[in-house]
Amino acid sequence: MMDSTLKNKTSKQLLWVGMAGITMLFAGLTSAYIVRKAEGNWLQFEMPNWFWFSTVSIVICSALLHISKIVVKNGKSPVVFLIGALFLGLFFSFSQIMGWQKLVSDGVYFTGKGSNPAGSFLYVITLVHLLHLIGGLVSLTITSIKATRGKYTSEDYLGIELNTIYWHFLDLLWLYLFFFMMYI
């Protein structure tokens, strides 16, 4: 129905528009954060170290996907990089959960007695990011499986491109959210 260059172009644009929408979701949440914070009664607490591990892992994950794209363009197999990225993505998820556990033990709760909106917002924002990341994990898993079956060539590697774009987005989004919550 559609030639592959056009399909490439439209698929990427569909992803871009989708990411614009997701950005607006977080714009809504972070605006709410700012408005609420301005009213006071805002708990100050330290970010768990686990979230630094999250940051590092997602940045490297992005880098690996970028490399996988270059590799497949040069006609070599991207599988090892894709799997590497997948594991880092899983590690990110793990570090998020560990981070939440540390917060709870530090007395920063999502809800209930002793909770504070600063904590509630942190949990909501990181949870919503994680849910979108899990979507990315599903997509990356499918792409990795397809790669092991040799479905990507140096001419057609749309799936890898799309994953790369999306993971760069998740990465940048995380960086924005993480530093936003730390410094704003």
Partner 1 sequence: MSDHHKETFISKYVFCLDHKMIAKQFLITGMLMGVIGMFMSILFRLQLSNPGESFAVLEWFLGDKWAPGGILDPNMYLALVTMHGTILVFWVLTAGLTGTFANFLIPLQIGARDMASGFINMLSYWFFFGATIVMLISLFVESGPASAGWTVYPPLSAVKEAIPGSGLGQDLWLVGMALFIVSSLLGGLNYIVTVLNLRTKGMKMSRLPLTVWALFITAIIGVLTFPVLLACALLLIFDRSFGTSFYLSDIILGGEALHNTGGSPILFEHLFWFLGHPEVYIILLPALGLVSEVMSVNTRKPIFGYKAMVGALIAIAFLSCIVWGHHMFVTGMDPFLGSVFTFTTLLIAIPSAVKVFNYLTTLWRGSIRFTPAMLFAIAFVSTFITGGLTGLILGNSALDINVHDTYFVVGHFHIVMGVSAIYGMFAGVYHWFPKMYGRMMNKKLGYIHFWLTFISAYGVFFPMHFLGLAGLPRRYYTNSSFPMFDGLTDINEVITFFSIIGGLVQLLFIFNFFYSIFKGTKSTQNPWESNTLEWTAPIERIHGNWPGEIPEVKRWPYDYSKPGMDKDFVMQDVPLKPGETEH
Under the rule (CB under 8 A), what is the footprint of partner 1?
1-2, 6, 9-11, 13-14, 17-18, 20-22, 24-29, 31-32, 35-36, 39, 41, 110-113, 115-117, 120, 124, 128
Q: Is the CB of 116 or the CB of 139 nearer to partner 1? A: 116
Dihedral over alpha carbons 158, 78, 67, 49 (to 10 degrees): 100
| Separation of alpha carbons 72 and 83, rounded Å | 14
Nearest approach, Cβ of 88 to partner 1 (angstroms)?
A: 27
| Separation of alpha carbons 106 and 13, rounded Å | 43
Q: 19, 169 in Cβ contact below 8 A?
A: yes
Dihedral (CA of 139, 144, 146, 147) sign: positive
Nearest approach, Cβ of 121 to partner 1 (angstroms)?
A: 8
Residue type, 24: M
Q: Is the CB of 9 or the CB of 76 nearer to partner 1? A: 9
Q: Is the CB of 80 or the CB of 128 nearer to partner 1? A: 128
Q: Is the CB of 5 or the CB of 74 nearer to partner 1? A: 5
